[in-house]
Every structure is written in structure tokens, then in C-alpha cells.
Amino acid sequence: MEINALLMDSGDNVVTCISEVAAGQQVVYRSGEKTIALTALEDIPYCHKIALVDIPAGGEVIKYGESLGKTSEVIPAGHWVAHHNLFSVPRDYDSEMIPV
Amino acid sequence: MQFWGYKRKEGRAGIRNHVLILPTCACGSESCRIAAGQVRGAVNIVFNTGCSDVAANTAMSQKILTGFACNPNVYGAVIIGLGCETVPHDKLREKIQSMTSKPVFSFGIQDEGGTLKTIEKAVRAARDMAAEAAMQQKELCDISELLLGIECGGSDATSGIASNPAVGELSDLLVDMGASTIMSESIEWIGGEHVLAKRASTPEIHNQIIQVCKDYEAHLEAAGQDCRAGQPTPGNKAGGLSTLDEKSLGCIRKGGTRPVVEVLKQAERPTKKGAILMDTAGYDISSVTSMVAGGCNAVIFTTGRGTPTGNAIVPVLKVTANARTYQKMEDNMDVDLSAIVAGTKTYKEMGAELVHVIGDICNGKMTKAEAFGFSDIAVDHVCRFI
């Protein structure tokens, strides 16, 4: 099966599609040595993300092993994740400072 | 690794030998454009500021103008001013002459009696300077003389996945050879600043990285603005970058993995060698302007959606990992990194290939933007004109 999506970190809950994916098509990505497939439940544009698992409303979307922000609605596995259902949350800079 | 460059008395070598026609303010820009058009070997800057500014804006403009003249790619400068601007031509010339022994001449349009008389004098000065510059022989320089600016613009999801990691690898390889790199665009550290800060070589630098982001947000908030309203841009979103955090986490990968040795203010010159950061806007043209003023002699620029941008003083090498963009905009793209996305090459392999491409650029190969003669600049502003 040809790869059409990339997983950036083993802890991610989304992959990035490297070709357009129509609803009903398979999204195929590599995770370590394994090749994994899931079915897209809606159209995913080129370069856009698809949820690998059900993400609750207010849940975090993880890519590169880091949080991209929080969801504004439930995003079931196989659905498109983008700016319409994901928003950035303010940082807590003071908590990131380290003792000098 | 070595390259053939132009040694300068004040230190680092240039990879170009331009005569720079430099306006003091917007009112001198058009005369500079016409004067540069008359002299082979001359380049001009279009400047949108330099007058009717608060002190902080004037300080920024002056850092940019003096930084441009002192950039190692510049042989000498011919300044054209108006006469009533905040810092007139003779004062700017004296300031530049206090920083460098390069030849610098200046003329004022009001003093000379209008555009034509000023252009005549500026063209004669630039012509003689270009003739002298042409006599300077290239010499072998160590790669440690290179200060590479690292920029991204028109990003999409391929930037963070492929082209930025490849350029990060390039940065690591160059730093290991003794060269220095600057990654800027501090607004695009936000959301990934905790990851970037892990590269700090000292606890102070760790906190400086966090503080830059905190201060940037506070600055915008003081004006009632929110960085998340403009970032990501509509093009970024269409390209699959949904939040500022996602953009940042991809952006910071272009700086590589080596310890950060210094965090510079905008348009400042580095005092250390190695992997360096500069606090600039995420606006790519403004960021490149500031890094060139800080002394970069070349810029590598990753893009997803494609951009034509170039700079008059330094070559801007544009690379993309988006195969469609490379095909559609081949006239503007220098290197195709899409093999990384396709899985046929790794980002590390392509990063190593980029070392040779940068070597060629240092030795004189023109980038596509350079061949077009592009001269984009944008000077960052603290607040409104007055």
C-alpha cells in the first residue's frame, strides 16, 4: 500500500495527508516499522490533517509530539482537523522560565 | 570547506561586491533607483521610512541603513538624502564611516538643486566606485566567514515536515564546520518556544527565548492586537497549518539542533559564532531585512506555497518540499526538496546536498531572485508614523 500521509511523532493523534483524500478512501501512513491504514470519513485537502482517534471537544491535537491547540468540537477518527475545529490557546510563559 | 569571497578590512568576507545606492528616507528612494540603473555593479534599496518617526522607529531605521552599508557583501555606498529628514545624508554617512573603512559618499537633493543634479553626482560617484570594486580579487575564505540567514515564508504543511528539517540539518552541518546561522521570526516561535528553549546553551538564553515571546505578545496586546488573529495567514491555513502553534513547531525546525549561543535584538550584529537567534517579525521580508542588516551574507528561504522574494544585498536561495509549488513556480524556486515528502530521500540527505548548493552560491552562482534583480525590503515599525 502506498503511503499518502505522514506521522511526525509516535505520540501524535493526527497525520498529515500528502495527497488529496476523498471521503471513503484509505489514509495510509507508517508508524515505526508498521504500515497503518484508516478510512477517511470526509474529504481531506492536500497537506491537511486527519484525526487518528476520536478527539473530544476541548481536547488537544498532537503533532510533532506537541500540542497544536484545542478542539472546538468533537472530532471523530477519520475526520478533517483544521482551523475550523482547532484553535490556539494562550501560553503560560512564566511557568516556562527556569532558575538561573 | 572554503569559498572564494571578498575580504573586508573589518572582518567577515563578502560573497558579493555590490556598490550600494542607499536612500536616507523614502524621498531619496526613487533617485537611488534611477542612479543604480545607470551603473553596472550597483544595487539600490527602496526605503519606506526615515522621516516623521518617533525615536524608537528612527533607531530601527538607522540600524537597518548602517547595517546594510556595513554588510560584508557591500564594497561601498553612495547615499542619497533629501535634506529635511530625521537623519540627513551627511550624518548617516558619518555614522557609517565611524563603523567601516569602506568608501561612502553622500548627496542631498535639496542641496544639489533637485533630482537630476543629484543623480548626476551620485552616478559619477557610483561609477568610479564600481570601477574600483571590479578590481578587487576574490580570495579563499574559510566557511567560518559565512553568516547564513534562515527564513521561511508562504509556509504550508510541507515546510515543517520536510524543507525546514532539511535546512535545520544544513544549519547543523555549517555550524559544525565553524560557520554561523541566524534563525529569526520570533512570533513563529510562539507555541514552540518551550521546544526551542531546550536548545539554549545557558539558562539565561533559555529564559531570553521565552521572554522574547512573552514581550512580543505583550507589545501587541498594548495596542489591542492579538498575534493569533493574523497568524497563521490565510495561505498558511489553506496549506494545512491550522494554528500559530502548528506553524511555530514546524518553523523552529529550520534552525537545526545545535546549542543556541546568542539571542539578538532585531538587526543587531552577532558577537558569537554558531547557532544564533534574532527577535524579528514573522513577516518574511522584514525578517530578511533585519538579518541582512545584522550582517548575513546569504539567506536560505523555505517555502510551501511559493514566493518570488529577493534581496538586493544578499542572495536569497528558495527551497520547497511541495512538488506542486516547485513545478508551478520553477522560475522562482531554486531547489526542489519534494523527495523528502515522497520518501525517496531523507531530510538529512537533502540537508547535506544543500551544503554544496550554499557553497556554489558563496562562490558566485546567482539565485533566481538575484538574477531577476529583486530588492524587497520592509523595515519593522514600533508604532505609527508621526
pLDDT at B224: 93
Instruction: Tell whether omega for the bond before A90 is within 30 degrees of 0, i.e. cis.
Output: no
CA distance linking residue B229 with residue B236, whole number of Å: 13
Q: Assess: ipTM above 0.95.
A: yes
Say if residue B11's pLDDT is above 90: no
Round to whole Å and give the CA distance between B217 and B177: 36
pLDDT of residue B50: 94
Give the residue among B350, B314, B321, B318 at the shortest CA–CA distance from B333: B318
pLDDT bucket at B90, cuts 50 / 70 / 90: very high
Average pLDDT value for residue range B4-19: 94
pLDDT score for B371? 97
Q: Where are the alpha helices (DSSP H) in B159-311?
A: 164-176, 193-196, 203-222, 227-230, 234-238, 244-251, 284-293
CB contact under 8 A, B243 and A83: yes
pLDDT at B161 over 90: yes
Q: Which residue of A has its CA nearest to B245?
A: A68
Q: How far is B210 from chain A (nearest CA, A)?
A: 6
pLDDT tens, residue by residue, B330-366: 999 999 999 999 989 999 999 999 999 999 999 999 9
> Do B312 and B32 form a contact (C-beta atoms < 8 A)?
no
- Chain A residue numbers touching B248 (CB-CB < 8 A): none
Which residues on A lie below 8 Å from B304 (Cβ)?
47
Asked if B274 reaches chain A (Cβ–Cβ under 8 Å), the answer is no
- Is a pLDDT exceeding 80 seen at residue B271? yes
Measure the CA–CA gap between B149 and B182, rounded to whole angstroms.
5
Please provide the average confidence, as pLDDT, over all residues in chain B: 97
- Residue the block writes with cell 491537511: A48
Domain residue limits, chain B: 18-135, 143-372
Helix (H, G, I), strand (E, B) or coil at B188: helix
Instruction: Give pLDDT, residue B384.
Output: 87
- A2: cell is 502506498
Which pLDDT does position B133 carry in this prediction? 98
Residues of chain A whose pLDDT is less than 50? none
Taking alpha carbons only, the member of B263, B272, B250, B73 closest to residue B183 is B263
Number of structural domains (chain A) is 1
Taking the alpha carbons of B123, B128, B131, B133 in that order, is the dihedral positive or negative? Answer: negative
Domain ranges, residue A39: 5-96
User: Phi and psi (nearest 5°) for B245?
Assistant: -60, -45
Q: B237: nearest CA in chain A?
A: A83
State the pLDDT at residue A34. 95
Q: What is the CATH number of the domain that holds A34?
A: 2.30.130.110
Q: Which of the residue ranges B160-164, B228-232, B292-296 would you say has the lowest mean pLDDT? A: B228-232
Interval B380-386 mean pLDDT: 89
What stretch of H or E contains B132? helix B115-135
Q: Is the CB of B182 inside 8 Å of chain A's CB atoms? A: no
Q: Give residue A1's pLDDT.
A: 75
Do B242 and A81 count as a contact with CB atoms less than 8 A apart? Answer: yes
How many Cα neighbours within 13 Å face the side chain of B6?
19
pLDDT given for residue B229 in this prediction = 85
Q: Between the CA of residue B84 and those of B31, B44, B66, B91, what are the distances in Å?
A: 16, 21, 19, 12
Q: What is the CATH code for B18-135?
A: 3.40.50
pLDDT surpasses 90 at B55: yes
Confidence of residue B383 (pLDDT cuts 50, 70, 90): confident
